[in-house]
Structure 1
Amino acid sequence: MSAPRHTTAAHAEPATVFDLPTAAQVLTDAAAKAGAAIMTHYGATEGIDCKEDNSPVTQADRDANDILEAALRDFAPSIPVVSEETATDRKAPLGRLFFLVDPLDGTKEFIKKRSDFTVNVGLIEDGFPCFGLVYAPARGLLAVTVADGVAIEASMPPSAAGADLSVLTQKRLHARAADPEAVTALVSLSHLDAKTEEFLEGFSVADRSGAGSSVKFLEIARGNADLYPRLAPTMEWDTAAGQAVLEAAGGHVVDTSGARFAYGKSDAGLKNGSFVAWGRTVLTPR
């Protein structure tokens, strides 16, 4: 995939290459700050509201969103930002290049004081994710794409002062090839349904576990699991960053037809259809 390009319309400047390494540096710093803001509310019972769709939103969501959107405005002011917390018109047409942000993915897990909630930032180019950052502040785990086809993980505690990616010990992420006779599957803690159970019956599942948020994408990207089916609804900002990281690690995210999972579905209000995330091996049901 070619590097994304963007222009600043007000100045009509020539297109400039979107700098993936610099994006990783800038957004790692912002993620550390957002993680610190989130953790100040960890375990709190106040500041929890309910959205129109009955999903919870907390002050942690809002504080993290402010930090991330400010960082994106400074870094790439010409690229639109579509965030779960500020997107008002989800059916508005989107251009070929835009950010998708979920400042706190797994709010239910956060409220329950679990550790599987994440900060997600993904960049979409021509319908597909080309950059992604996923940060699990309660676990101190960062995963980010640092170049085309390269994703790394690093241990990073939340910090209100930010963080410098270049000084973190980095490990390249490699998804594994599945053993068709002993598949390790991940499922959603909050949205496991009969369709998912039926889907998993088509494979030789030797082990399965539940997790919240984009942690499931990370576990496949880290080579710890093979399969994550999601047949219940999600939104585009829930999955873009995790897909970018997983694909850079050699994995795959496909729709029910087997095609690469796509974004920019304004006609559907940015709602995702069913998808399956795989490691290096995409298996067919028996």
Structure 2
Amino acid sequence: MRDGTATGAENQADLDLLVSAAREAGKLAMSYYGQDPKTWFKGNKSPVSEADMAVDQMLARTLRSERPAYGWLSEETADDKSRLAARRTFVADPIDGTRAFLAGGDEWTIALAVVDAGRPVSAAVFCPVREEMFCAVEHGGATLNGVPVQASSQVSVAGARLSGPHSVVANKQIAAAGFERTDNIRSLAYRLALVAAGRVDVAVARSGPSDWDLAAADLLVQEAGGALTDLVGRQRLYNQPETRHPALVAGPRNLLDAARTVISGIVE
């Protein structure tokens, strides 16, 4: 079981570690920011830079030395599946929103989570340029720079602020339903964190995101009173053999059914 005083204390200790590591990672990433770091493309055509790799190595060294029994899953580390035997696993995205980072955008993040029994129990999403630290622990609520946050109270699609890929938010059915478009957010973790903070009502992800894009922000949304689900309403599990996920929608619980009804016919 994960509840109880002992586990709550463990989750908080893990959160403290994640926050400290995220801040250090932010400093390292900022040393490359705007400096034209060496960049190449991975097999899926997504960019990666020397900054991503440096932050990944620093996080692995810092976190794994503090919790050697924990598993490790990161976007920039080859997955040897040894994590599947661990009771708890770090799930890390060294720089979520690398395209934004390389283009000089300000919405890229460092996303870190601890997963236990398939679900995140501690999470930190740090946006260095905006100096925003989103945190959550299971059953402990979500905060932004130490202040509690809550998903919005929006219950109708009409007037709901929607963040997602251009192909979704620009769809005519979205406008017809009454959604309001928001600025393009190139970090999925940050997009979801904004739902937790109540700045965005609904966030959408196309099919294909991985554990490292989602785990930390999933806990933020959950602890802020919302939910992140697939298009039929199922919660996600992490640190499984398969790390990729289908199309997803996040938002306040009282709005999700209506949002999924509209979005399910558009996103794949």
Match of 2:149 in 1: 173
| Match runs of 1:13-92 below 5 Å | 19-89=10-80
Q: Please, which runs of 5 or more residues in structure 2 have no aligned partner?
A: 263-268
Match of 2:249 in 1: 276
Match of 1:246 in 2: 221
- TM-score, normalised to structure 2, is 0.85
Change (3 A) 1:256 1:93: same
Letter in 1 for 2:110: V
| Match 2:206 to one of 198, 211, 231 | 231
Shift of 1:24: 2.0
Letter in 2 for 1:276: V
What secondary structure sits across from 2:257 in the alignment?
Answer: coil
Separation (CA, whole Å) in 1 of partners of 2:84 and 2:98: 28
Identity of counterpart residues, as a percentage?
24
Separation (CA, whole Å) in 2 of partners of 1:226 and 1:106: 20
What secondary structure sits across from 2:182 in the alignment?
Answer: strand
- TM-score, normalised to structure 1, is 0.80
Shift of 1:18: 6.4
Match of 1:211 in 2: 185
Q: Is the contact between residue 100 and residue 123 of structure 1 (CA under 8 Å) also seen in structure 2?
A: yes
State the Cα RMSD in Å.
2.7
User: Are 2:105 and 1:114 equivalent residues in the alignment?
Assistant: yes
Q: Is the contact between residue 261 and residue 275 of structure 1 (CA under 8 Å) also seen in structure 2?
A: no
Separation (CA, whole Å) in 1 of partners of 2:168 and 2:142: 33
Match of 1:167 in 2: none
User: Are 2:2 and 1:2 equivalent residues in the alignment?
Assistant: yes
Match of 1:12 in 2: none
Q: Deviations over 1:212-235 (max 9, x none)?
A: 111111111111111012123211
- Structure with a larger share of its residues in helix: 2
Which segment drifts farther, 17-26 or 254-263? 17-26
| Match 1:182 to one of 139, 148, 159 | 159
Shift of 1:65: 1.3
Count, aligned residues:
257
Q: Is the contact between residue 84 and residue 101 of structure 1 (CA under 8 Å) also seen in structure 2?
A: yes
Separation (CA, whole Å) in 2 of partners of 1:177 and 1:24: 27
| Match 2:233 to one of 240, 258, 270 | 258
Change (3 A) 1:118 1:94: farther
Shift of 1:102: 0.5
Shift of 1:136: 0.6
- Structure with a larger share of its residues in strand: 1
Match of 2:123 in 1: 132
